């Protein structure tokens, strides 16, 4: 007598988690030629800071050599860097803006 055995296997859904994209810090670097007021304008215009916060970041750049403007995904950070550098060159300022992985 033959008996049929059914396997009691249960299909489980396999959940894969994707990592969030790496984030990058956008930094403004100090130089001896760009006016402090211009740095404040850049921080307000390109990073949406209010005047008080922009002034604090500008003073950090002045005293410590660099200041964090924001943390963004790679493409957004690269665009911000390009916008700041382009704007600075249009106004004949050597302001440096860079990005580094957070």
Using CA atoms, how far apart are residues 64 and 61, in angstroms rounded to an integer?
A: 5
State pTM to two decimals. 0.81
Q: What domains appear along the chain, each with residue ranges and CATH number?
A: 27-101 (3.30.1390.10)
pLDDT in tens, 15-38: 888 988 899 999 999 999 999 999
When pLDDT is cut at 50, 70 and 90, the band that residue 12 belongs to is confident
pLDDT in tens, 42-75: 999 999 999 999 999 999 999 999 999 999 999 9
When pLDDT is cut at 50, 70 and 90, the band that residue 40 belongs to is very high
Using CA atoms, how far apart are residues 70 and 68, in angstroms rounded to an integer?
A: 6
Using CA atoms, how far apart are residues 36 and 34, in angstroms rounded to an integer?
A: 6
pLDDT in the model for residue 55:
98
């Amino acid at each position: 007598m033959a008996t049929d055995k059914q396997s009691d296997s249960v299909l489980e859904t396999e959940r894969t988690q994707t990592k969030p994209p790496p984030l990058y810090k956008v930094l403004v670097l100090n130089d001896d030629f760009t006016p402090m007021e211009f740095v404040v304008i850049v921080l307000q215009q390109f990073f949406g800071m209010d005047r008080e916060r922009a002034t604090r970041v500008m003073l950090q750049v002045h005293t410590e050599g660099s200041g964090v403007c924001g943390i963004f995904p790679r493409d957004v950070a690269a665009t911000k860097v390009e916008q700041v550098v382009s704007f600075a060159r249009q106004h004949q300022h050597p302001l440096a803006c860079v990005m580094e992985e957070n």
